[in-house]
Structure 1
């Protein structure tokens, strides 16, 4: 009975029926698979939509052209690439296990994937550094952190991501087009060396998480110290309102810190624990990859939607009021 159910859910066909060397494809048509495809497609659409709102908001309104918002814009661009290109390609491969984009794209796609993911992580680090300077040195923040310096850091960050992607391409033998693991036409298997897997964990998980955790722990300590100072001053001025305001500010800072750390760690820890040689056809690799992709859906919610300016700008965009000012 199990074999019969399996045969009904998976229909064996050919990726390219008119090519003799074509791979056989597995068309997954079960109810569970259909629901999975719908869910992942909705995630991809929501990722693109939310990050587009962030990009349009910050790009259109000049009042939002601040260093912090430029970093959020960089993060939104990286997450947009994940939702616009990385997620759809993965959904395509999950539907019938065939690769329709050719052998060259099979080698280029993981590079594009790495650029978008590393750009997202680098933006998260810059946001943590920006908040660290703003909290620890608020009086000199405007002089130490400017729009020009922020743009330069963003360009350097994306350049580093591009450079690392090309290094990953040329030094990982199995990603070279001449050595791609394609046993038949319509197959794309990415085999990652153990050394590169460990290197990716160190560069894209251990180092960023260490920096973010250290910076936000310092931010939290400084925020608590500032809250105590404000509470002491406001207690003298008004015993009724002072403690309430300081406690709410401290709680808000702690909540934001907890969300940032929890989401980032929750998305990257499963991948970091997979220190074994795995391929892109592995179920473990697929699950862990999609958990990381979910981070691109959560970032606009954490770093943008919680800001009042984002809610106000979204109303302008959705109601098309921004076009009224242009006319």
Structure 2
């Protein structure tokens, strides 16, 4: 989150005139109540996300590793940033000292920037999953996701923590008045403008471009995956699918040759082969069982006995051609491939919906404040202090909205949230254990 910019008159306040904002009793009660409710919802929502990831193995996917990291950043904001900032607004000054101020700002900005970096990583992950489904997904592992998450947090830490904590040692003095809490290097409008561009506008532009390409790729994938059309993912792997079909045909032909060989050994009479073009390629004749009582003794196994009994009343047998015999196998394999594509498509749709909701919430909650940052660069006194507070708080609200986006777009998250809130998760796990041990939990409950 970019630094809170306040009017120059505020920055020039003396230590004797320290109360920046005065609120009446009802304003204090309203601000405190609303901020407390939002903070509690943020904390509970993000704890639910983390608990859901732990208790439900269905949620332990690579996509959700990034959401888990995002929830950790949002939880930090809900616990520390919201409450400290609310007290700062209500009191009108910072009462905890300069060290606590710098530590709070460092934690706040690192967590906020980590949220942005995690969103950027999620967008790139979705983009490569759609545009490079074979090459990228082979490398898309939980270990790789953990590395990307670690890098996102490390970059945020390096970018914000040293300047916030050490700026006064770089310039030789503390540039913020006593009992005020603000990032010291944001007293320069040019630096404020540059950080807003680098920390918000560039990432948002990249996310928007990636999302547009993801949307186009998803539409093309959905169109190509319709029945009767070939998916572009198949064009990347013709050898795999063709190899499966060819292997199935070869196995079918080997089984057919083995059966024919066994049939020919079970009868002393040579078969007469008739070549036909009507889909039936080979015809074998067998003598009746009554004329060859010793036929079943010529076999080393029980196959000839089964075949002899099957054809004891039949004069001849016709084997189907290779093409007709392989049709059921081809159809089975194709149906399995189609089913797998459909499952992948459903997962991609859920991930894309979640990304859409998160990205929209991020842009809506962060844009007002960053617009004010740009305006203040050219007109420092144009924006009232109350509007600054509102815009800054709106950035925090993004951490409240994110868990709601997960629940709205992902039914698995939604069901797990409900079970955790209703304390039903232990009961569900007990029922699963009873089921796997061969007991019916419904019957057991009725008997008890």
Q: How many pairs align?
A: 293
The RMSD of aligned alpha carbons is: 3.4
Match of 1:117 among 103, 106, 112: 112
SS of the equivalent of 1:138 reads coil
**What's the offset of the Cα at 1:29?**
3.1
Match of 1:316 among 415, 419, 422: 419
Task: Give CA deviations for 1:42-76 in whole Å, capped at 9, x if unaligned.
Answer: 11111111111001111333332221111000000
Give the whole-Å Cα distance in 1 for the aligned partners of 2:147 and 2:351. 28
Match of 1:38 among 29, 33, 42: 33
Q: Which residue number corresponds to residue 394 of structure 2?
A: 291
TM-score by length of 2: 0.58
**What's the offset of the Cα at 1:84?**
0.7
Q: Which residue number corresponds to residue 139 of structure 2?
A: 144
Give the whole-Å Cα distance in 1 for the aligned partners of 2:87 and 2:170. 20
Q: Which residue number corresponds to residue 219 of structure 2?
A: 224
**What's the offset of the Cα at 1:93?**
1.1
Q: Which residue number corresponds to residue 321 of structure 2?
A: none
1:99/1:232 CA distance change after superposition, 3 Å: same
**What's the offset of the Cα at 1:286?**
1.6
1:75/1:189 CA distance change after superposition, 3 Å: closer
SS of the equivalent of 1:182 reads coil
Give the whole-Å Cα distance in 1 for the aligned partners of 2:351 and 2:47. 27
Give the whole-Å Cα distance in 2 for the aligned partners of 1:69 and 1:190. 33
Give the whole-Å Cα distance in 2 for the aligned partners of 1:223 and 1:144. 20
Q: Which residue number corresponds to residue 303 of structure 1?
A: 406
Give the whole-Å Cα distance in 1 for the aligned partners of 2:414 and 2:400. 17
Q: More displaced, 160-169 or 314-323?
A: 314-323
Q: Which residue number corresponds to residue 362 of structure 2?
A: 264
- 2:22 touches 2:92 (CA, 8 Å); kept in 1? yes
SS of the equivalent of 1:44 reads helix
**What's the offset of the Cα at 1:161?**
0.7
TM-score by length of 1: 0.77
Q: Report the structure number with the largest CA radius of gyration.
A: 2
Q: Which residue number corresponds to residue 86 of structure 1?
A: 81
Q: More displaced, 259-268 or 123-132?
A: 259-268
Task: Give CA deviations for 1:119-172 in whole Å, capped at 9, x if unaligned.
Answer: 111111111112112222334443121100110111111011111113432674
- 2:350 touches 2:409 (CA, 8 Å); kept in 1? no
1:254/1:81 CA distance change after superposition, 3 Å: closer
Task: Give CA deviations for 1:162-183 in whole Å, capped at 9, x if unaligned.
Answer: 1111343267459989515234
Structure 1 segments of 4+ aligned residues over 4 angstroms from their partners: 20-27, 170-178, 249-258, 323-327
Q: More displaced, 81-90 or 305-314?
A: 305-314
**What's the offset of the Cα at 1:114?**
0.7
- 1:223 touches 1:253 (CA, 8 Å); kept in 2? no
